[in-house]
Amino acid sequence: MTVFIIRRLMQAVFVVFLMSVIVFFGVNVIGNPIDMLVSPDADQQDIAEAIARLGLDRPIHEQYWRFLMGALEGDLGRSFIFGEPALKLILAHMPATLELAFASLVMALVIGIPLGLYAGLYPDGIASRTIMAGSILGFSLPTFWVGLMFIMVFAVMLGWLPSTGRGDTAVILGIETSLATRDGWSHILMPALNLALTNIALAIRLTRAGVREAMGQDYVKFARAKGLSTRRIVFVHVLKNIMIPIVTVIGLEFGALIAFSVITETIFAWPGMGKLLIDSIIQLDRPVVVAYLMVVVLLFVLINLIVDIVYSILDPRVRLQDQRS
């Protein structure tokens, strides 16, 4: 187990390093580094000063080294707009994004698995066909368009839910979250559902395929031959088998959710890192953009690492292989 984790950890460090190279060289070779690091309204003298101060007259590998060392100390530059350290800004916006991504992940599982289960158990029914058609739409409809429709229907036409912002937050278990207040719930419902759509569709498909495959397996026939009730067969024998891959795949999507939250946050004006990114790109607040990219890469790699480890804990067969090796 330890060997396994250490190996994965080394891979993760390598990927983060690689991405820092790509982001750094992307900024410095493709883009104009002065644009990136100095406010666009700076005059000629400011720029000359900045070049010397930032060491841009130095060879490129030396510059990268400075960037890397700064990054390791948590220094990713200062925001032009807010005048605060970019990293601090990102971290301040992170809880809102994590909350949204988490809420939508739970939503995907809570909505997707039961629907997929139904569609898998009764594949020929009209309800199942409707569910499957819906899941195709969930994959192919652009997220931002569905978000727009949500706002039009539920906020503008029906007036049921607020269309923008995060709403009131309160502290539960030491975490400040909007899931603790009624107002918070009403604000998070639409964005979370919007962000969850693709994953609901994914969960439906995975569950349905898993159920159909499992129902044909000998262990299910054997369970039936033991005289077990359908309910026990479905909820214990089948679900326990298919939950592992489903939770793994949906869990892996957590990183993608953080990435896709850029879209949802912008539509619903959700004050997370994604909205910060878009605002920063539009306002040319480039240190924040670079900081966001590095933080998201780090998050992604971390999530993949955690999912790998969780998977090895969930599946007794993986655990066994590890004991042997």
Partner 1 sequence: MTLAVTGLRTHFFTRAGVVKAVDGVDFTVGPGEVLGLVGESGSGKSITGFSILGLIDPPGRVVEGSIRFQGEELVGASEAAMRAIRGNRIAMIFQDPMMTLNPVLRIDTQMIEAIQAHDRIDRDDAHRRARDALGQVGIPSPEERLRAYPHELSGGMRQRVAIAIAFLNEPALIIADEPTTALDVTIQAQIIHEAQALCRHSGTALIWITHDLAVVAGLADRIAVMYAGRVVEQGATDDVIDRPAHPYTVGLLGSAPSANPRGQRLRQIPGMPPNVLSLPEGCAFRARCEHADPACMEAPRISADGDRAYRCHHPRIGGVP
Partner 2 sequence: MSDLSSEGQPEEARAAVETPFRRFASEFFESKVATAALVLLSLIIALSLLAPWITPQNPYDLAQVDVLDGRLPPGSQAFAGYTMWLGSDGAGRDLFSAILYGLRISLAVGVTSGFIALLIGMGVGLIAAYAGGRVETVIMRVVDLQLSFPATLVALMLVAILGKGIDKIILALVVAQWAYYARTVRASALVERRKEYVEAAACLGLSHGRIVFRHILPNCLAPLIVVGTVQVASAIALEATLSFLGVGLPQTEPSLGVLIANGFEYMMSGRYWISVFPGLALLLTVVTINLVGDHLRDVLNPRLKR
* Interface positions with partner 2 (CB under 8 A): 15, 18, 23, 26-27, 30-31, 136-137, 139-145, 148-149, 151-152, 156, 163, 255-256, 259-260, 262-263, 266, 277-278, 281-282, 289, 292-293, 296, 300, 304
- In the list 225, 231, 282, 325, the residue contacting partner 1 (rule: CB under 8 A) is 225
Q: Which of 145, 160, 222, 235 binds partner 1 (CB under 8 A)?
A: 222
Residue environment code for 198-219, b if the CB has 16+ CB neighbours within 10 A, otherwise e: bbbbbbbbbbbbbbbebbeeee
Cβ-proximal residues to 21 (8 Å cutoff; 6+ apart), any chain: 64
Alpha-carbon dihedral sign for residues 28, 32, 34, 40? negative
Q: Does 73 bind partner 1 (CB under 8 A)?
A: no
Residue 225 burial (CB < 10 Å; 0-12/13-18/19+)? exposed
Residue 172 is classified by DSSP as E
Q: Is 232 in the site for partner 1 (CB under 8 A)?
A: yes
Indicate the residue among 25 and 243 with the shorter CB distance to partner 2: 25
Sequence-ordered list of residues with C-beta below 8 angstroms from that of 121, at least 6 positions apart, any chain: 211, 215, 234
Structure tokens at 43: 């005059």
237 binds partner 1 (CB under 8 A): yes
What is the nearest approach in angstroms of partner 2 to the Cβ of residue 263?
6
Cross-strand partners of 172: 175
202 binds, among partner 2, partner 1, none (CB under 5 to 8 A by kind): none
The residues, ordered by sequence, that sit 6+ positions from 74 with a Cβ below 8 Å of its Cβ are: 87
- For partner 1, the closer of residues 111 and 318 by Cβ is 318
Q: Which does 307 bind (CB under 5 to 8 A by kind): partner 2, partner 1, none?
A: none
**Choice between 250 and 289, CB closer to partner 2:** 289
> What is 264-316 written as a DSSP string?
HHHHHT--SHHHHHHHHHHTT-HHHHHHHHHHHHHHHHHHHHHHHHHHHHH-H
CB of 50: closest distance to partner 2 in angstroms? 20
Does position 318 interact with partner 1 (CB under 8 A)? The reply is no
Among 241, 248, 266, 283, binds partner 1 (CB under 8 A): 241
We find the least distance from the C-beta atom of residue 46 to partner 2, in angstroms, to be 21
Per-residue x/- track, 13-52, partner 1 (CB under 8 A) = ----------------------------------------
The reply to whether 317 sits near partner 1 by the rule CB under 8 A is yes
Q: How far is CA 37 from CA 59, 80, 143, in A?
A: 17, 9, 33
Q: What is the CA radius of gyration of the chain?
A: 24
Query: Among 154, 250, 243, which residue's Cα sits nearest to residue 201?
Result: 250
**What DSSP designation does 42 have?**
-
Q: Is 228 in the site for partner 1 (CB under 8 A)?
A: yes
Q: Which does 91 bind (CB under 5 to 8 A by kind): partner 2, partner 1, none?
A: none
Q: By CB under 8 A, is residue 149 in contact with partner 1?
A: no
Residue with tokens 């359908």: 230
Footprint on this chain of partner 1 (rule: CB under 8 A): 217-219, 221-229, 232, 236-237, 240-241, 244, 315-317, 320
